[in-house]
Amino acid sequence: MRALGLFLVFALVWLLLSGLMKPLVLGLGVVSCLLCVWLASRMHRVEEDAGPALRPLHLLAYLPWLLKEVVLANLQVMRVVLSPRMALDPVLFRLRATQRSQLCKVIYGNSITLTPGTLTLDVDGETMLVHALERAGAEALRSGEMDRRASALEASA
């Protein structure tokens, strides 16, 4: 089942990136996806590291929320950078990640990095080292909303 799921993910990515629905391209896409799944299974990655199941509905809710946060953070960074005083107040701090799976920790760390003005520098177990352009960005992350939303993506074991 995991191999089939992996194949479907590869096929979806192939379709989104190629954008072509010609028979030759679709055939090459199927062959490429099958080859990638076969290579992953030969490396024993399908059974071991396929990762936990994500809650699809939570993911569909998370992505628009993340997009909204990225837009708001962009506006905040623009305000700081375009200000005549350029009142930067960079902060380096540690943040606890409550996600159980590596996949959701990666999603959380990447969500922090995708949000302008913040950057995940290191992940060490349950702790992330984060740089924020100003204290407001650090406080927004410390509130824990992004952490809770990323944790909610994990399917119950």
DSSP string, 76-113: HHHHHHHSSS-----EEEEEE---SSHHHHHHHHHHHH
**Cα 62 from Cα 45, distance rounded (Å):** 27
Instruction: With a cut of 80, say whether residue 100 has pLDDT above it.
Output: yes
> 57 or 156: whose pLDDT is higher?
57
Provide the residue ranges of all domains of the chain, joining segments of one domain with +: 2-48, 56-151
**Cα 6 from Cα 148, distance rounded (Å):** 26
pLDDT, tens digit, 9 for 90 and up, residues 1-27: 677 878 888 888 888 888 888 999 899
Instruction: Count CB atoms within 10 A of the CB of residue 144.
Output: 13
pLDDT, tens digit, 9 for 90 and up, residues 62-96: 999 999 999 999 999 998 888 888 778 899 999 99
Model confidence, pTM: 0.71
Closest CA to 109 of 94, 97, 101: 97
